Copies of this chain bind each other. A is one copy, B any other.
Amino acid sequence: MRVTGQIPEATVARLPVYLRSLLEVGAAGISTVSSVMLADRAGVNAAKVRKDLSYLGTYGTRGVGYDVEYLRFQVSRALGVANTWPVVVVGLGNLGRALAGHEGFGERGFPVVAGFDIDPDKIGTRISGVLVHPLERLPELVANLGAAIGIIATPAEAAQEVADHLSRAGIRSVLNFAPTVLALPDDVDVRDVDLATELQILGFHLQRANPTNDDQSVVS
């Protein structure tokens, strides 16, 4: 398990879930929240929630829980939500189009500032509101727009070349939707999202469909 500034990676992965829950209960006018409730939403047990939040220096009040507003502030700060990380999307096929137009990105501090493709018919047009440029302009535009994150939404066979382009352009965070394993320098942080993998995990359970009483349906 990688530990980043004392916060384990598995905890980091749960922080966005906590934040979303806190925004929801806050919107519902609830001012305190228990670790049990947060646990339920994150699919872990309450002890793990308390442990996770302790990394942020937050301990809640026994019998009362956590102050929603204050906890939201702390989780947001830990996640750097106050910051804005401009994103570029490479590959404006169906998936790239969906990602470029994904409402949740801009709202959460990840505005899509440029698109890149090799298709001359797409270059110069706006797709989901995002202007599409030729791949050759990547270094210049990453620098000018201050892009921090590159999303790869190309076919698998193009992904490594695109990843190399992104890396050379100075991008140090890559979200890869192409179903292939990328080789990148150690200082580039890559997260793979393979949509078929998620289906395969569901398929695994379908195949084994057995009437157990195990109700923890979230990967730990």
Interface residues of A (CB under 8 A from B): 1-5, 9-10, 12-13, 15-17, 19-21, 24, 41, 78-81, 83, 85, 87, 93-95, 97-99, 101-102, 104-105, 107-110, 128, 148-149, 172-173, 175, 179-181, 186, 189-191, 193-210, 214-220
Verify A80–B203 contact, CB threshold 8 A: yes
Give the nearest-CB partner of A219 in chain B.
B9
| Chain B neighbourhood of A4, CB < 8 A | 204-205, 208, 210, 214
Per assembly, the copies of the chain total: 2
A177 to chain B, nearest CB (A): 9
Verify A149–B202 contact, CB threshold 8 A: yes
Verify A199–B2 contact, CB threshold 8 A: no
Verify A199–B98 contact, CB threshold 8 A: no
| Chain B neighbourhood of A204, CB < 8 A | 4, 12, 15, 78-80
Verify B13–A172 contact, CB threshold 8 A: no
Give the nearest-CB partner of A211 in chain B.
B187
Q: Which of A98, A108, A220 has the most CB of B within 10 A?
A: A98
Verify A202–B217 contact, CB threshold 8 A: no
Verify A94–B98 contact, CB threshold 8 A: yes
Instruction: Pull 21 A–B residue pairs with CB atoms less than 8 Å apart, ordered by A.
Output: A4-B210, A12-B219, A13-B219, A16-B200, A20-B179, A21-B181, A79-B207, A81-B203, A94-B128, A95-B98, A97-B98, A99-B195, A102-B195, A104-B195, A108-B199, A149-B203, A173-B205, A173-B206, A175-B199, A191-B198, A191-B201
| Chain B neighbourhood of A101, CB < 8 A | 94
Verify A201–B13 contact, CB threshold 8 A: yes
Verify B200–A175 contact, CB threshold 8 A: no
| Chain B neighbourhood of A13, CB < 8 A | 197, 201, 219
| Chain B neighbourhood of A173, CB < 8 A | 202-203, 205-206
| Chain B neighbourhood of A207, CB < 8 A | 79-80, 83
Verify A217–B200 contact, CB threshold 8 A: no
Known: A102-B196, A108-B200, A186-B215. A2 touches B148 (CB 8 A): no
| Chain B neighbourhood of A201, CB < 8 A | 12-13, 16, 191
